[in-house]
Amino acid sequence: MEQIMTGKITPKAKPATAKKVTARKSPAAVKKAAPASSTRKTASRAAPLAGKTAPQQAAKKDKPKKIKMVRNSFSMTEDDYANLIGLKKKCIAAGVHVKKSELLRVGLMGLLKLSNASLLAAVEPVLATKKAKAVKA
């Protein structure tokens, strides 16, 4: 701080560093020591595995697989986005906090339950606006 106010620049003192002196082992000593430490590691790893019981192993296998999430971007009209936000606000007012992606998943589940004719009837208005945009351009 004082350096900035006075305009004087003084070199900072370097902290004293203590060099550690370590004794180096000969390569032959290192090779002899390695097998002893590796046998200890394998023995310590094998002991916990032998101690596991069958129910613990079965519980690990029954664990459900983690669902992989896929991220993708898409576009929607401002009106559709406003409808999505409106649905989110309705849920929050009812005491249920939902995300936009969760609302989209609920809509997808609803569409999956429709018959083919009902699905095409629901999709038709969206396709009509898409075709109208293509004709204008």
Domain boundary assignment for the chain: 78-136
* Residue 11, phi then psi, degrees to nearest 5: -70, 140
Which range (6-15, 31-40, 53-62, 68-77) has the least confidence?
Answer: 31-40
- Per-residue pLDDT of 14-38, as tens digits, reads 555 555 555 666 665 555 555 555 5
Q: Cα separation of 87 and 111, whole Å?
A: 17
**Is 68 a residue whose pLDDT tops 90?**
no
Residue percentage of the chain with pLDDT more than 70: 55
CA 58: distance to chain centroid? Answer: 27
Q: What is the mean pLDDT of residues 41-47?
A: 54
Structure tokens at 62: 């029954």
pTM beyond 0.85, yes or no = no
